[in-house]
């Protein structure tokens, strides 16, 4: 909610996005004590699975078959709300007739999983 409110100020939303990423990393540090081994990786993958599935549906044009592409895009934007300001930095180019933004949505879920994995690593 803070990121939505901060979109009217140019840099605050990006700062809050980085703060969200920091919280994900910090949560992984705490999860390392509670969830042992492979369970942490399973937990973060299940957590990001809706974003991964919806992104793949859009990129592979499967949403066009069923006619609910706009709905999935809306859900993805809502799903990635904390990271969305970082995606606004991407250039407005298309790859395979899809905006780079859509690939950024897929990358956002993978990025969050990666940040969580980095947080799980031992020092």
Q: Is the pLDDT of residue 123 over 70?
A: no
Predicted pLDDT at 119: 86
Task: Render pLDDT for 86-110 as a digit per residue (tens, 0 to 9).
Answer: 887 877 888 888 888 888 888 899 9
Q: Is the pLDDT of residue 57 over 70?
A: yes
Helix crossing, 100-120 with 12-34: angle to 10°? 40
Q: Using CA atoms, how far apart are residues 81 and 75, in angstroms rounded to an integer?
A: 10
Q: Using CA atoms, how far apart are residues 100 and 4, in angstroms rounded to an integer?
A: 22
Instruction: Give percent above pLDDT 70 in the chain.
Output: 89
CB atoms within 10 A of CB 96: 8
Secondary-structure breakdown of the chain: helix, strand, coil percentages, each rounded to the nearest 5? 75, 5, 25
Predicted pLDDT at 63: 76
Q: What is the pTM of this model?
A: 0.80
Return the half-sphere exposure (C-beta side, CA atoms, 13 A cut-off) of residue 120. Answer: 19
* 98: phi then psi, degrees, rounded to nearest 5: -125, 140
Predicted pLDDT at 7: 62
Predicted pLDDT at 122: 66
- The SS3 assignment for 50 reads helix
Q: Is the pLDDT of residue 111 over 70?
A: yes
Predicted pLDDT at 50: 92
């Amino acid at each position: 909610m803070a990121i939505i409110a901060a979109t009217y100020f140019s840099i605050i939303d990006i700062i809050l996005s980085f703060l969200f990423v920091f919280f994900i990393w910090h949560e992984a540090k705490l999860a390392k004590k509670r969830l042992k081994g492979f369970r942490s990786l399973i937990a973060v993958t299940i957590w990001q699975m809706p974003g991964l599935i919806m992104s793949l549906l859009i990129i592979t044009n499967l949403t066009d078959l069923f006619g609910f592409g706009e709905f999935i895009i809306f859900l993805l934007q809502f799903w990635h709300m904390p990271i969305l300001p970082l995606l606004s930095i991407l250039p407005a180019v298309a790859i395979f007739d899809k905006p780079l933004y859509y690939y950024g949505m897929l990358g956002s879920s993978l990025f969050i999983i990666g940040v969580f994995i980095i947080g799980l690593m031992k020092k």
